[in-house]
Amino acid sequence: MIVSLLSQKNNPLLKLKVLMADLRPSRWKISAAFLAVYGLWGSTYLAIGFAIKTLPPFLMAGFRFLIAGSILCLWARLRGAARPQAVHWRSAFLIGLLLLLGGNGGVVWAQQFVPSSVAAVLVATVPLWMVVLQRFSHRGSRLGLRVGAGLLLGLGGVGLLAAPDPSSLQATPPAAAAVLLAAALSWAAGSLLTRELPLPESSALAIGMQMLCGSAALLAAAWAAGDFGRFNPSEVSLISVVSLVYLIIFGALAGFSCYLWLVRVTPPYLSSTYAYVNPAVAVFLGWLIGGETLSGRLLIGAAVILTSVAMILLGPPADLRK
């Protein structure tokens, strides 16, 4: 009898079963998404640095998400995704504005003036911003002692990892530091809104729409900042082109998509742990690819970060969506 009911087309019991399955994503999917965000986004600091050497920052970022968003939207529609409504576009525009113009745009602009390590340590305030914003929201919930300690420990680990050599200490430009902190706050706000605002049922379509809206804002910023006037195709290096392609495929299509999916199915304190892991990945890649020295201080900092993530992951194990 039950099997017969569930097999009927458009049966409400079948829809409820599918909805419940969607609300409980398998652990292997969550683990795979975290591995993608941890690894791929850790490499984007290096790729952004290479890309903006000969590409204007806002123009590069806008073109990156324009291509990635177009691919995702086209792919989703070809697979039968429903046409988005006006309310979906409004949500996508607001989220894209916060995540891509405020968040990613702030990072690519600031990396013209500060090293990747300094950018990483300031962007690593994203988890703390998320906790603060969530506590002020109507759905704010108390964090356990272990999770709170893990967040603070992770921030300290990133600070240790990113601390410059005293022999070559340089002051961070205040404007760049302020922009990076504002970018972290904007990213945190946009991430939380993806859980609240109405978006299409198709995750690929929702993410693609956010990228398209964010790219429009970034290209508008590029025009306002004079990036189009400074762009000279003959001066663009091969490494910048390769880095841009890498950022489109692995940073946007893979990494960004996995992150936005994690934001919707895991709590903010968990999905934001990427901000602690990425600097450790960036340091390792700098040693592996850039020939940088892997000092004991950096190894200790990476160990502290991994310990903090373990504390957070072993925190409240109940509902992943809270």
Closest CA to 93 of 210, 196, 260: 210
* d(C-alpha 132, C-alpha 283), whole Å: 28
Q: DSSP letter at 79?
A: T
Q: DSSP letter at 114?
A: S
Name, in order, each residue with C-beta under 8 angstroms of 220's C-beta and a sequence gap of 6 or more: none
**pLDDT of the chain, 322 residues: tens digit per residue:** 434 434 444 544 344 344 334 445 778 888 889 988 988 888 888 888 889 999 999 999 999 999 999 999 999 999 999 999 999 999 999 999 999 999 999 999 998 887 776 677 778 778 778 877 877 665 555 667 777 787 788 778 777 766 655 554 455 677 888 898 899 899 999 998 998 899 999 989 999 999 999 999 999 999 999 999 999 999 999 999 999 999 999 999 999 889 988 888 888 778 878 877 887 787 777 677 756 566 676 677 767 876 777 777 666 544 344 4
Helix and strand numbers (H, E) in the chain are 17, 0
Cβ(204)–Cβ(258) below 8 Å:
no
